[in-house]
């Protein structure tokens, strides 16, 4: 049982980083020169005001991670919902000892 939990966990972690659409349009986002940036920002708005493309790329990465997590959660939920039916079917098919 512990093996299954560990497997599910690591598959979810890997699934979070796998691209969902390999045929999608890729967009080159130039990275800013962080050496020229001030040492700290008072808020995210200041950062996004200076580098809007970086904030857009971060938002897209967040949406992608959320979609992957939702898909993984739905698959785990389906597996858990089907598990009692599989166990009862396996129990009814096994010969009585």
**Closest to 70 (Cα-Cα) out of 33, 20, 29, 32:** 20
Tens digits of per-residue pLDDT, 35-80? 565 556 567 777 788 888 988 998 899 999 999 999 999 999 998 8
More confident residue, 49 or 1: 49
> Which of 9-13, 54-58, 80-84 holds the top average pLDDT?
54-58
- What local confidence, expressed as pLDDT, does residue 6 receive? 87
Taking residue 42's Cβ as centre, other Cβ atoms within 10 Å add up to: 8
CB neighbours of 8 closer than 8 A, spacing ≥ 6? 76
> Could you tell me the residue ranges of all domains in the chain?
43-84
- Residues 66, 20 contacting (CB under 8 angstroms): no
């Amino acid at each position: 049982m512990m093996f299954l939990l560990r497997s599910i966990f690591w598959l979810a972690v890997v699934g979070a980083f796998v691209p969902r659409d390999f045929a999608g349009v890729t967009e080159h986002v130039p990275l800013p020169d962080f050496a020229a940036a001030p040492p700290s920002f008072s808020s995210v708005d200041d950062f996004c005001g200076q580098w809007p493309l970086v904030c857009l790329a971060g938002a897209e990465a967040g949406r992608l991670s959320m979609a992957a997590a939702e898909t993984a959660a739905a698959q785990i939920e389906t597996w858990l919902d089907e598990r009692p039916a599989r166990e009862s079917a396996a129990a009814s098919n096994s010969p009585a000892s």
